[in-house]
Amino acid sequence: MTWLRSHLRLPSPAMVIALLALVMATAGVAVASVPDEQGVIHACIVPNSQYLRVIHTEATPPQTCRRNETPLTWGQEGPRGPEGTRGNEGATGEPGPAGPAGPEGPRGPTGLGQA
């Protein structure tokens, strides 16, 4: 154990940063690859089993289903459904605070009997 400690060095800060950048970039590519550009998720299922494998068809080389698997696709977002019925009117809210005073209006005409 002493020999191992004497021969191993801590990695430099630059090496740690480079390794973290590589891990983050790899994770970003893996997350961004499914669903495809059209929002479709591709997978392969083994009939009569609970085995489902999500594949990336736009990878290089593209991933495909094996001979014993059946391809399966579905959309990340389904079609828009019909508009629902209007809900009941909500309760009246509390009155808001008084607003600031407006500017003074123009002077009105002189009244009768006053000069």
Hey, where are the domains in the chain? 2-75
What pLDDT is stored for residue 21 in this prediction? 66
Q: Note whether 17 and 23 are within 8 A (CB).
A: no
Give pLDDT tens digits for 51-71.
999 999 998 899 999 999 999
Q: Check residue 112 and give its pLDDT.
A: 81
Q: Residue 114: its pLDDT value, please?
A: 64
At a CB cut-off of 8 Å and minimum separation 6, what does 56 contact? 33, 34, 36, 42, 62, 63
Query: What are 28-44's pLDDT values in tens digits?
Result: 444 446 888 888 999 99
pTM given for the model: 0.42
pLDDT score, position 19 = 73
pLDDT in tens, 17-29: 767 667 665 654 4
